[in-house]
Amino acid sequence: MQKYSQSVEPGADGACHDRRSKWRMFAEQSNYKPVKMAELCQVSLRHLERQFKVEIGETPRNWLKRQRLKSALRLLPEAQSIKEVSYALGYCQLSQFCREFKLGFGLTPTAFKQMEKVEQDRLMAREIDGEAAAPALSIPEIGAVVAAPEGLPEPCAGS
């Protein structure tokens, strides 16, 4: 079987946002686990690691960790509890979530929830919206056409 790459570039209509949304959906679908994300993309973990290192400049594990924390920023303001967000994002221990959140943003989830909405929005804009020009990621397909698992977006299509 021949392998080839197809770049996930923004389309002529400037679909950069769609591309980032698809990768975020894959991150969520994989429960922020690199091995599962590689399976969803139908590539080996090693290949996914190489592609991330070359095109994004970091490992899938680090990128997925950042995406998970950004998801926490989105969920925390409306959540009933921090524990709810922690478990929704696949953390086994609340303490692990709190530790990673503090390392990532310099404050605890409790402190974030207690911030005024304006300050929360400012932090979210800096952390989430600041990713504006993420580089395109090329993921090879096996064979001529490989469909994404049912219910999942095509990571390599829509360019």
What's the 3-state SS for 9-58? CCCCCCCHHHHHHHHHHHHHHCCCCHHHHHHHHCCCHHHHHHHHHHHCCC
The whole-number pLDDT of residue 19 equals 59
The whole-number pLDDT of residue 68 equals 93
Euclidean distance between CA atoms 137 and 123, whole angstroms: 26
What pLDDT digit, counting tens, does each position of 136-159 carry?
Answer: 444 333 333 334 444 433 443 333
Nearest Cα to Cα of residue 43 among 5, 71, 73: 5
Euclidean distance between CA atoms 66 and 3, whole angstroms: 30
DSSP annotation of 129: G
Q: In this model, does residue 7 exceed pLDDT 90?
A: no
Q: In this model, does residue 126 exceed pLDDT 80?
A: yes
What pLDDT digit, counting tens, does each position of 91-112 carry?
Answer: 999 999 999 999 999 999 999 9
Domain segments of the chain: what residues? 16-141
The whole-number pLDDT of residue 55 equals 76
Euclidean distance between CA atoms 24 and 152, whole angstroms: 12
Least confident of 16-20, 86-90, 142-146: 142-146
The whole-number pLDDT of residue 18 equals 64
Q: In this model, does residue 15 exceed pLDDT 90?
A: no
Say which residue, 75 or 9, is predicted with more confidence.
75
> Which listed CATH number (3.20.20.150, 3.30.70.980, 2.160.10.10, 1.10.10.60) goes with 16-141?
1.10.10.60
Euclidean distance between CA atoms 19 and 16, whole angstroms: 5
The whole-number pLDDT of residue 134 equals 42
Q: What is the mean pLDDT of the chain?
A: 75
Dihedral sign of CA atoms 81, 87, 93, 96 in order: negative
